[in-house]
Structure 1
Amino acid sequence: MPTPADQLPTPRLKVPEGFKVETWASDVLDARMMREGAKGTLFVSSLFVANKVYAVLDKGGRREVKVVVDDTALPNGVEFKDGALYVATPRKILRFDDIENRLDSPPEPVVVYEGFPPSSQHGWKVLKFGPDGKLYAPVGAPCNICVPDKGQARILRMKPDGTGVETVAEGVRNSVGFDFDPRSGDLWFTDNQRDWVSDDMPLDELNHVTRPGKQHFGFPYCHSGLMVDPEFGGGRQCSEFSPPAALLGAHAAPLGMRFYTGRMFPEKYRDAIFIARHGPWNRPQKDADVAVAFLNDRREVVTVEPFLTGFVQDDEYVGRPVDVHVMRDGSLLVSDDHNGAIYRVSYVGEGGATAKP
C-alpha cells in the first residue's frame, strides 16, 4: 500500500536555502519513472509491486491519479511523443496512441519492438527520445557479473517504428536513467556497478557518450574506471575503456537523471544534472538522495553535491528517490517508490521556507 499523505516524510526532507519541498502527489503505488504529456498529464511507471502505469492530473491544487496501463509486467520505461505514450516492458516496447484524450478508456497498444533478449536480472527498461528523433533503451546485463551475450549490457537506439536498431554504447551493466545535453545533444547515463566485492567498491557511474557506437564503458572487465574485475578482468586494463564522467558513490544505485532546463532555479543550476540516488540494498550504511552534478563549459563534471536529502532517518529508509522531472514552470518533481509519492521542489528565494508537508 502507498504511504498515506499525512505520514509521508516530506517535513523531514532537506533542500538548500531558498528552496521548498512539498508533497505533489500521493497514492501512486511504487512510483518510478516520469514523463509529461503535451497537455500536462504526468505519466508515472511502476516496477515490482504495482505493474501499472499511472496518469496524474493536476486539478488546481490537488492531483487525481488514474491507472492507464494495468497488469503489465515491469512497465518501468515510459516516454511521450506526438500524442502517444510509449511503455517498455523487459521484452517489448508498446505505444498507446492519443493517450491524453483517452485516459479513461486507453486504446489497445501497438507493439513497436519485441526483440529484447530475455533476462530475469536488470531486464527492466527506461525510454527516452533523443534529439536525433530516435528512441533509446538499455539492455542490462543478465547477471551481477558475467560476460554477457551479444546484444546485452548496452544502450540501443531505434527509429520510432522500432526499425533500424543500433548500439550506442557497450559495456553498460545496468543503466536506469539517461538524458541528452541541451547544449551538445550528447547522451549521458547513470550505470550501476557490480555487487559482492566490498561495501566501498565499485563506485557507481555517470557516463558521457561522445562517440555513439564506438565506446565501451568497461563491464564486466573494469568498474568505476578504477578497478579491474577480480573474476573477469585478467589481462585487461581500465585504460582500454571509456572512463566515467563522474563517480556517484559505492552502491549508490543512481537511477533517473535529468538536465535542468528550467528557469525557476538560480542560474548556477542551468544545464546541471539532477540524479536520483536510490540507495544501496546490500550495504550496511544506507544513503539516498537527489544529487546535482555541475558541469563546466567543456562539459566536464566539476562537482557532485547532495541536493534533496533526508530519505534516511536513524539508519532506516523513510523514502527512496527514483526519478526526477523538470516541470514547465521550472520546478523539479521527484518520485519515491518506497512511499508511492511524488515531491515537488521549487525555488522561493533566499530566506524562503525549505519544507512544506
Structure 2
Amino acid sequence: MAKHSSVSSISSRVVCLAWAGCVGLLTTIVQAQETFHHVPSAAASVANPYHGQVDAIHAGGNSYATYCASCHGAAGQGAGNIPSLRQGPAQQTTEGALFWFITKGDVKDGMPSWAALPEQVRWQIVAYLKTLPSVKVVATQQTAMAGSPVHTPPPTPPFTDFRYEAPGVTRKITLADLPAPYATHSASNGPEMTSRPEGTLPIAPPGFKVNLYAEGLDTPRVIRTAPDGDIFLAESGSGQIRVYRGMTADGKPAQTSIFVANLDKPYGIAFYPTGPDPQWVYIGDTNAVLRFPYRNGDLKARGSAEHIADLPAGGHWTRDLAFSRDNKTLFVAVGSASNVDDPDTTPEEKHRANILAFDPDGSNMRVHAWGIRNPSGIAIDPKNGQLWTTVNERDGLGDNLVPDYITAVSEGGFYGWPWWYMGGHQDPRHKGKHPELQNKVITPDVILQPHNASLQITFYEASHFPSEYHGDLFAAEHGSWNKATRVGYEVIRIPRHHTSKASGEYQDFLTGFVLPDGRVWGRPVSLTTATDGSLLVTDDGSNSIWRVDYVGK
C-alpha cells in the first residue's frame, strides 16, 4: 500500500489529515528557507512544470480549497499557531521544496504526507501557493459555497476524525487506548448531506485511479459479483436488485437490467450453491430471506420468490447473507432493535444482535454467535471458510466509545452487547448485570474508530492490485452521528500480510467524502471485486458506485 500516500498539499493538512495535521506545516514552515524542513538540495532545485500557468493555478486553487483551506484559511492567512502561507518560509523557499514537503510530510510535526494526490495536483497546488500574496479570497465556486471549516481540537491518537484520514495511513487501536465511559459528552452530529462538488472524486493511494462506475441510483447498498462476473446490486430505496454486465473502456457497465423488483429493503445477496454453477440467488429482505431460481447469465429472475425464513423486522433493518464454503449453512446477520436495550426485559430483541444460521432450505435455525449489536456485513474467507463480520457498536458513551470492529467470528462466541463490550468492559447502563459473562466476552480482531458505522467487508482475491493486497479485507465505513467531529466516510484496508489472521491494524484507503466544513457528499456502503480486479464501492450519499482501478506505480 502507499506508505507515503497522502497529498501534502502544502497547506499542511489539506483536509487536515495527519494527526495534529496543520500544526505540522505550521511548526515547520516557520523555519528559515535554508533549513526548510531539511529538503534535499536536489529536490529543492526541481522546477515546477506548471509554474505560472493560469489554468494550473486555477486548478490548484480548487484543490487548495478542498484540502488545505480548512487549516490554513481560504486565502492562506493561517490562524492561531497555524502558519500563514501568504508570507514567510512558504513564500521564501522554492517550489521544488514545497512539492517535496507536501509529498513527504512530517508526521512528527503533524504534517501528513500527501503522496496519494496525483503528482500533477501537487504541483498545481504549489503553483497556486506562490500566488497567495496577491489573493484576497480563494476564487473558486466550491469555496464560495462552503461553510466555515471545522476547527475543533485535533483528536488524540490513535483516535481520529475525517480531517486526518488519508490513503495509506496505518492505525491500530488496542484495549489500553479505550477511555472511561462518558470521558466526553455524547454528541448528536448527524451528517449534513450536500451534492458532490463538480470534479471531486474520492482519493485513493498512489497508483490507483477512481472513476464513476454508475450514478442516479436509489440507495445503493450491498454489491456482489456473481460467479459469471455479473454485478448484482441491492437498491434498497427502490426495493429492487439490479444487474450490471460487462465493462466499457472508460470503466462503466456495458449493460444493466432489473433482476427483480417489489422487495422490502433488500440488502444481503448470496449465490447458492457456492462455486461456478449456482442454482439460486438468496436475498435478505428486512423481514425475511427469499430466494429466486437462477442460472449463470440471467438478467431477470426466471421464477417467483420462494420464502425461506422469517426474520425480525424493524430496528436495524439490514440483513446480510453468506453461505458456508461447504454449502451446508446459510448465515444471516440480524442487528439489534435498539442501541442498548436489555434483551432480558425487551421482547423485541429476541433473535437479534446475532448471526443466525439456517440450513439452505430455511430450516434448523440456530444462533451461531451472539452479543453483536449490528453485524451489518458478513463474508466468508475464500481460503479457509472462516466467517468474518463488521459491526456497528453502541452509541451514547462518548466520542471514543464504543469502537466498531471487524473480526473472525467464533461459533458460539459472545461479543458483549448490551451488558459488556471489548473484552469485558461493563456498560454502565447495565451495571451489575450478568457478571458471569464478563470473562466470556471476545475481543475482536480489529478495533476500529468509534462511530465509524462500518457496514460491509470483502476479501480481495484478485491479482490486479499489488501482491501485498492479496487476501486482505476491504471495509466500507459509512460514518454516523455520535461523534463531535465526523469520522468514517471512507474505505479502509485490513492488511493480513498473506496470513489468515489480522494483526489489529488497518489503513485508510479511499477518503475525501467529507468537505472541509464537515458537509458530507458521499457515504461508502459495500464493496466487491470485479472480474478485471478493480474494486467497486457503493455510495448511498451520492447514490453512485465508484470503481477503484490499479494503473501502476
TM range (shorter): 0.7 to 0.9
Aligned length: 340
The answer to whether the 8 Å contact 1:205/1:224 transfers is no
Name the counterpart of 1:294: 495
Tell me, yes or no, if structure 1 residue 308 matches structure 2 residue 510: yes
The answer to whether the 8 Å contact 1:277/1:289 transfers is yes
Shift of 1:160: 1.6
The answer to whether the 8 Å contact 1:193/1:224 transfers is no
Which of 151-160 and 281-290 deviates more?
281-290
Name the counterpart of 2:211: 22
Higher relative contact order (Cα pairs below 8 Å, separated by 6+ residues): 1
Letter in 2 for 1:126: D
Name the counterpart of 1:122: 316
Shift of 1:192: 0.7
Shift of 1:230: 1.2
Name the counterpart of 2:522: 319
- Superposed, which structure 2 residues align to 1:242-281 within 5 Å? 242-281=442-481
Letter in 2 for 1:85: V
Higher helix residue share: 2
Letter in 2 for 1:316: R
The answer to whether the 8 Å contact 1:29/1:339 transfers is no
Give CA-to-partner distance per residue, 1:93-112, whole Å, 9 cap, x none: 11111266553565211112
Q: Secondary structure at the match of 1:126?
A: strand
Name the counterpart of 2:190: none
- Superposed, which structure 2 residues align to 1:170-319 within 5 Å? 170-210=370-410, 212=411, 214-225=412-423, 227-235=425-433, 236=435, 238-287=438-487, 288-296=489-497, 297=499, 299-314=501-516, 315-319=518-522
Give CA-to-partner distance per residue, 1:122-149, whole Å, 9 cap, x none: 1320111121312111121111111224
Return the alpha-carbon distance in structure 2 between the equivalents of residues 289 and 76 of structure 1.
Answer: 20
Tell me, yes or no, if structure 1 residue 347 matches structure 2 residue 547: no
Cα distance change, pair 132–165 in 1 and its aligned pair in 2 (3 A): farther
Name the counterpart of 1:3: none
Which of 62-71 and 121-130 deviates more?
62-71
Structure with higher Rg: it is 2
Return the alpha-carbon distance in structure 2 between the equivalents of residues 197 and 104 of structure 1.
Answer: 46
Name the counterpart of 2:228: 39
Shift of 1:7: 5.6
Name the counterpart of 1:332: 535
The answer to whether the 8 Å contact 1:35/1:80 transfers is no
Name the counterpart of 1:353: none
Give CA-to-partner distance per residue, 1:204-239, whole Å, 9 cap, x none: 1112224x1x21011111223364211124253754
Shift of 1:293: 1.0
Name the counterpart of 2:45: none
Which of 314, 336, 343 lines up with 1:141 in the alignment? 336
Q: Secondary structure at the match of 1:169?
A: strand
Segments of 5+ residues of structure 1 without an aligned counterpart are 1-5, 351-357
Cα distance change, pair 343–9 in 1 and its aligned pair in 2 (3 A): farther
Return the alpha-carbon distance in structure 1 between the equivalents of residues 240 and 486 of structure 2.
Answer: 28
Cα distance change, pair 233–79 in 1 and its aligned pair in 2 (3 A): farther
Return the alpha-carbon distance in structure 2 between the equivalents of residues 44 and 83 of structure 1.
Answer: 18
Cα distance change, pair 161–105 in 1 and its aligned pair in 2 (3 A): closer
The answer to whether the 8 Å contact 1:10/1:23 transfers is no
Letter in 2 for 1:80: F
Give CA-to-partner distance per residue, 1:56-104, whole Å, 9 cap, x none: 2335344233323323221111122314221111221111112665535
Letter in 2 for 1:14: I
Letter in 1 for 2:321: L
The answer to whether the 8 Å contact 2:415/2:422 transfers is no
Q: Secondary structure at the match of 2:221?
A: coil
The answer to whether the 8 Å contact 1:255/1:323 transfers is yes
Return the alpha-carbon distance in structure 2 between the equivalents of residues 344 and 22 of structure 1.
Answer: 5
Letter in 1 for 2:303: P
Q: Secondary structure at the match of 1:33?
A: strand
Name the counterpart of 2:238: 50
Return the alpha-carbon distance in structure 2 between the equivalents of residues 216 and 9 of structure 1.
Answer: 46
Cα distance change, pair 99–182 in 1 and its aligned pair in 2 (3 A): closer
The normalised TM-score by structure 1 is: 0.88
Letter in 2 for 1:327: A
Return the alpha-carbon distance in structure 1 between the equivalents of residues 354 and 265 of structure 2.
Answer: 19
Return the alpha-carbon distance in structure 1 between the equivalents of residues 337 and 299 of structure 2.
Answer: 35
Return the alpha-carbon distance in structure 1 between the equivalents of residues 334 and 242 of structure 2.
Answer: 24
The answer to whether the 8 Å contact 2:491/2:510 transfers is yes
Which of 24, 45, 68 lines up with 2:259 in the alignment? 68
Which of 269, 283, 294 lines up with 1:78 in the alignment? 269
The answer to whether the 8 Å contact 2:333/2:378 transfers is no
Tell me, yes or no, if structure 1 residue 153 matches structure 2 residue 347: no
The answer to whether the 8 Å contact 1:27/1:65 transfers is no
Return the alpha-carbon distance in structure 2 between the equivalents of residues 345 and 204 of structure 1.
Answer: 25
Cα distance change, pair 328–65 in 1 and its aligned pair in 2 (3 A): closer
Q: Secondary structure at the match of 2:468?
A: helix
The answer to whether the 8 Å contact 1:55/1:67 transfers is yes
Shift of 1:38: 3.2
Return the alpha-carbon distance in structure 2 between the equivalents of residues 8 and 110 of structure 1.
Answer: 43
Cα distance change, pair 105–269 in 1 and its aligned pair in 2 (3 A): closer
The answer to whether the 8 Å contact 2:260/2:300 transfers is no
Letter in 1 for 2:227: A
Return the alpha-carbon distance in structure 2 between the equivalents of residues 302 and 260 of structure 1.
Answer: 18
Which of 91, 97, 101 lines up with 2:287 in the alignment? 91
